[in-house]
Every structure is written in C-alpha cells, then in structure tokens.
A = this chain, B = another copy of it.
Amino acid sequence: MSTERKRRANGEESRRRILDAAAEVAGERGYDGTSIAQVSARCGLPVSSIYWHFKDKDELIAAVIERSFEQWLTAFDAEGEDVPELVVRIGEALVATPDFLRLGLMLALERRPHEASARRMFLQVRATTLERIASTIREHAPELGDEAVRLLALYTMAAVDGFFVAHEIGGDSVDLGALFALHGRVLVDAARHLSA
C-alpha cells in the first residue's frame, strides 16, 4: 500500500488540514511570524491550494480564531454553576486550548490597520465571553448594580488573561489552579465591597 499521493480532491478535509497547520504555526509565532509557506509545509498542501480555500492570510487567521474559539467554548460550556466554579472551569479550558487565547492576545496588542478580520473576530469572540461572565455574576449576586457587574466581569477576564500570560512565561512553575481558586474566592469579597 503505497502512500496515496493524490487522494481524490476533498475540500472539507483539506480545509481542516490547513486550519490545523495554521493554528499550530500562528499559535507559536503570531500573525506576522506566520508565513503561508510554513503553513503549506506543515499541512502538505501547496501554497496555491491554501489560497483556494482562503482569500488571504488575514482570512485564514480569522478562520483559525473562529474555529479555535468554538473549541474553547465547548470546553468550558456548563450551566448552573456558581461563580468560583465558573472561574476554575475557564482556567481548565485555557490550559486545554491555549492557542486561541495566545494568538488572540497577540493580535489584540498590535496596533495596525490591516489584518482587520482576524482581529475583529477575536474582539467579537471576546465580547461574547465577557457578556457570559457578566450574566453568571448577575445571577449569583443579584444585588449588584450594572456598573458593578461589568467591573467584576472585566476584572475576571483580566485575571484570566493575566494568569494565562503568567503561565506562558513561567510555565508549570506557575500554579494556575491556585491562582484561579484564589480569584474565585476573592470575587465574592469584591462583590461585597461593591454592594456596600
């Protein structure tokens, strides 16, 4: 059984292979550090085939973010939990699928006009997540005003980002579990401060 060298054209699968490769590379090196040639080498399809499936690099990266976000959503999806639990679940999801956030943060930190759609996709996905955190907080602390809820949601999202960065830098010497647990407990105190 020699390697099938031309398995009959299969768009779906090729698209998936390209996205897998692009997620890997972009997760490692960011937007500018990712070259189409690298993606091509990693997925085995020629450069021109990548352009058949995606209009340009920008759209490719946007698609990577979109798909990665869906995976991450699946990973931390859960209902009826209380706030500290939610925070911990987010943390777990992070460790499981870190490419999404790493790439997204890199894009968010950049200040440039291009790569519009990739950046936009991340910001949209982020807004969705923020809203979700806010509604969980609102459920569990109905006495808080809108401003306070928004502040706590922002605080939580910032903590998540910060923990992620710390873990990226410090590796396993950073105890993500302890950090998330601490933040979960602290949120309750913070809610008390704000409702007072």
User: B-contacting residues of A (Cβ < 8 Å)?
Assistant: 27-33, 102, 105-106, 108-112, 123, 126, 151, 154-155, 157-163, 165-166, 168-170, 174-175, 178-179, 182-183, 185-186, 189-190, 193-194
Q: Report whether B161 and A123 are in contact in the complex, using a CB–CB cutoff of 8 Å.
A: no
Chain A at the B interface: SS class? helix
Which residues of B lie under 8 Å from residue A102 when comparing CB positions?
109, 111
Q: Report whether A166 and B193 are in contact in the complex, using a CB–CB cutoff of 8 Å.
A: no
Complex Cα–Cα for A27 and B159 (A): 23
Q: Report whether B162 and A182 are in contact in the complex, using a CB–CB cutoff of 8 Å.
A: no
Q: Report whether B162 and A157 are in contact in the complex, using a CB–CB cutoff of 8 Å.
A: yes
Q: List 11 A-B contacts (CB under 8 A).
A: A28-B110, A29-B32, A29-B112, A30-B32, A106-B109, A106-B110, A151-B179, A155-B183, A158-B166, A185-B193, A189-B190
Which residues of B lie under 8 Å from residue A112 when comparing CB positions?
28-29, 33
Q: Report whether A105 and B193 are in contact in the complex, using a CB–CB cutoff of 8 Å.
A: no
Q: Report whether A126 and B169 are in contact in the complex, using a CB–CB cutoff of 8 Å.
A: yes
The one of B27, B31, B108, B109 that contacts A111, using a Cβ cutoff of 8 Å: B27
Q: Report whether B106 and A168 are in contact in the complex, using a CB–CB cutoff of 8 Å.
A: no
Complex Cα–Cα for A27 and B27 (A): 20
